[in-house]
């Protein structure tokens, strides 16, 4: 009898292992969620936690050489009295965003939601006592925004997390490392996030790069399978700086456009030709979480140019903001969102719902397209050669074009086609603004 039970258990374990080895087949609702994800090219990223109180960015526990036992005391004073989830959501909506991604738990291990795993969370561990994740979830739903949550797979606070490349001086002794225990903790928390808030549409993981040594198994396919068993439509992405892992639903690139590696995180990272793409970039140059002494924000024009370039590469832009410890979005960030929103009211149709085109990036700018239109985004007018009183925009495009006009004014533009597959368009010599858009109509 014992032998038969042993064989039965072995078969169950084997079937369990094989289930994770099987090729991931996304559910119908997941495929639909992917399409919706790519229809709105702008997302808002929010790095917010108790680290905002120090005003030194989200890595301060590690970069400041602090002991977690001292750093974590900030939770007892965290009271963001100005936080208004609805005001946040309205500002993001007005900016033209389609979704929001909030840090539910960063590397410091502090949870911005009510969790049964520990009291180290914003509801049980602070005088504020309110569930930020839940309040923003409702506000996003009320304002028609999709809602994603960032979740750190590494932890500088928990003793059972295996010591990795960073967070080695926070006071953990390393004598209680137990990945099975930690893995179960992560499963419990993501289950809370997916079941306690009905409109969590995606999970954005970060931290796998902390363990890149040979032999360490994050068990991500198993983790992803567990998540999809709870909510098949949930979009999973992971900022692991490597190729796609089985079970992921979108691919992300940190601080770089797909195919680039200026930030050093995407070396050799192959671009998926089947998954939605997303580039994350911070509005505040060099910082993700709130920094009290850094005010080097990207201009509205720079953000627009970045958004347009993302769309031209079939990618979303996840634009990051670091809220203040009092719960306010910094005034400079609100100004940038307002300026971006004014532009999006006019030009959103040239990026939302578009894809990349056959026209590669040119000296003058980039192109996006729909089924029947091509949009030429002139973001660098200096790249257009002039011929007397007019500029001549040269476009490598050989398909049939029936009309070319200025997008805003609707004024027809003169153009000539050549046998070698180029279109030369007459444009004004003086082009103002961050993006002069020309529309190519491909249908009669």
Q: What is the pLDDT of residues 407-424, one digit of tens each?
A: 999 999 999 999 899 999
Position 214 scores a pLDDT of: 82
Chain mean pLDDT for the chain: 94
Give the dihedral sign, CA 396/399/400/401.
negative
* Final residue belonging to a domain, choices 327, 353, 379: 353
Position 389 scores a pLDDT of: 79
Position 286 scores a pLDDT of: 86
Position 119 scores a pLDDT of: 98
Q: If you ran DSSP here, which 8-state letter would residue 56 be given?
A: B
Mark whether 370 and 432 lie in a shared domain. yes
Position 276 scores a pLDDT of: 98
* CA separation, residue 32 to residues 235, 350, 356 (Å): 10, 22, 20
Measured torsion, CA atoms of residues 44, 50, 53, 59, in degrees rounded to the nearest 10: -70
Record the pTM.
Answer: 0.94
DSSP helix/strand/coil, 362? coil
Which positions ≥6 away from 336 have C-beta within 8 Å? 283, 297, 298, 299, 300, 303
* CA separation, residue 151 to residues 107, 111, 186, 215 (Å): 9, 9, 9, 23
Residue 349 lies in a domain: yes
* Final residue belonging to a domain, choices 329, 353, 377: 353
Query: For residues 242 and 415, what is the distance between their CA atoms, to the nearest angstrom?
Result: 44
| Tokens at 316, concatenated | 């979303």
Residues of the chain with pLDDT under 70: 1-22
Position 187 scores a pLDDT of: 98
Residue 382 lies in a domain: yes
Mark whether 260 and 315 lie in a shared domain. yes
Position 2 scores a pLDDT of: 43
DSSP letters for 90-148: HHHHHTT-SEEEEEEE-TT--BSS--SS-S-BTTTSSSS---HHHHHHHHHHHTT-EEE
Query: For residues 225 and 121, what is the distance between their CA atoms, to the nearest angstrom?
Result: 26
**Is 362 within 8 Å of 424 (Cβ atoms)?**
no
Q: What percent of the chain has pLDDT over 70?
A: 95
* Domain at 68, CATH number: 3.20.20.80
Q: Which domain holds residue 269?
A: 28-353
Residue 15 lies in a domain: no
Query: For residues 73 and 132, what is the distance between their CA atoms, to the nearest angstrom?
Result: 19
Mark whether 135 and 262 lie in a shared domain. yes
Q: Give the chain's domain count.
A: 2
Position 8 scores a pLDDT of: 44
* Final residue belonging to a domain, choices 353, 381, 399: 353
Residue 19 lies in a domain: no
Smallest CA-to-CA distance from 53 within 255, 290, 258 is with 290
Position 212 scores a pLDDT of: 87
Mark whether 263 and 393 lie in a shared domain. no
DSSP helix/strand/coil, 378? strand
Q: Give the CA angle between residues 180, 21, 233 to the nearest 5°.
A: 85
Mark whether 262 and 379 lie in a shared domain. no
**Is 43 within 8 Å of 278 (Cβ atoms)?**
yes
* Domain at 404, CATH number: 2.60.40.1180
Mark whether 365 and 272 lie in a shared domain. no
């Amino acid at each position: 009898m014992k032998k038969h039970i042993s064989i039965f258990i072995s078969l169950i374990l084997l079937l369990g292992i094989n289930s994770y080895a099987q090729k991931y087949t996304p559910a119908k609702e997941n495929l639909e969620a992917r399409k919706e994800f790519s229809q709105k090219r702008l997302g808002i990223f929010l790095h917010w936690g108790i680290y905002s109180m120090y005003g030194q960015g989200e890595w301060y526990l590690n970069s400041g050489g602090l002991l977690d036992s001292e750093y974590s005391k900030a939770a007892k004073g965290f009271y963001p009295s100005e936080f208004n989830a609805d005001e946040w959501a309205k500002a993001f909506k007005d900016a033209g965003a389609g979704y929001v991604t909030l840090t539910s738990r960063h590397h410091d291990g502090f949870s911005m939601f009510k969790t049964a795993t520990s009291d180290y969370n914003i509801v049980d561990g602070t005088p504020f006592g309110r569930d930020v994740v839940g309040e923003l979830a409702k506000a996003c739903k009320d304002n028609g925004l999709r809602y994603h949550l960032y979740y750190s797979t590494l932890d500088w606070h928990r003793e059972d997390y295996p010591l990795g490349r960073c967070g080695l001086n926070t006071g953990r002794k390393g004598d209680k490392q137990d990945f099975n225990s930690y893995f179960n903790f992560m499963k419990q928390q993501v289950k809370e996030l997916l079941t306690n808030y009905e409109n969590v549409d995606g999970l954005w993981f970060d931290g796998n790069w902390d363990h890149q040594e040979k032999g360490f198994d994050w068990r991500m396919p198993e983790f992803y399978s567990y998540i999809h068993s709870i909510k098949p439509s949930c979009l999973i992405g992971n900022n692991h700086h490597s190729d796609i892992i089985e079970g992921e639903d979108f691919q992300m690139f940190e601080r770089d456009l797909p195919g680039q590696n200026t930030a050093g995180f995407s070396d050799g990272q192959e671009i998926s030709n089947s998954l939605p793409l997303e580039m994350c970039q911070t509005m505040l140059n060099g910082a993700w979480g709130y920094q009290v002494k850094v005010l080097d924000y990207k201009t509205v024009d720079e953000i627009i140019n970045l958004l347009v370039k993302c769309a031209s590469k079939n990618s979303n832009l996840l634009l990051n903001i670091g809220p203040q410890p009092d719960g306010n979005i910094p005034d400079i960030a609100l100004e940038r969102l307002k300026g971006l929103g004014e532009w999006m009211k006019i030009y959103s149709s040239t990026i939302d719902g578009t894809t990349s085109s056959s026209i590669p990036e040119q000296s003058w700018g980039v192109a996006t397209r729909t089924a029947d239109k091509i949009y030429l985004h002139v973001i660098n007018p200096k790249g257009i050669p002039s011929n007397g009183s007019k500029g001549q925009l040269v476009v490598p495009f050989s398909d049939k074009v029936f009309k070319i006009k200025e997008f805003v004014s609707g004024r027809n533009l003169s153009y000539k086609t050549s046998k070698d597959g180029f279109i030369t368009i007459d444009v004004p010599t003086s082009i103002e603004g961050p993006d002069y858009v020309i529309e190519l109509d491909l249908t009669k």
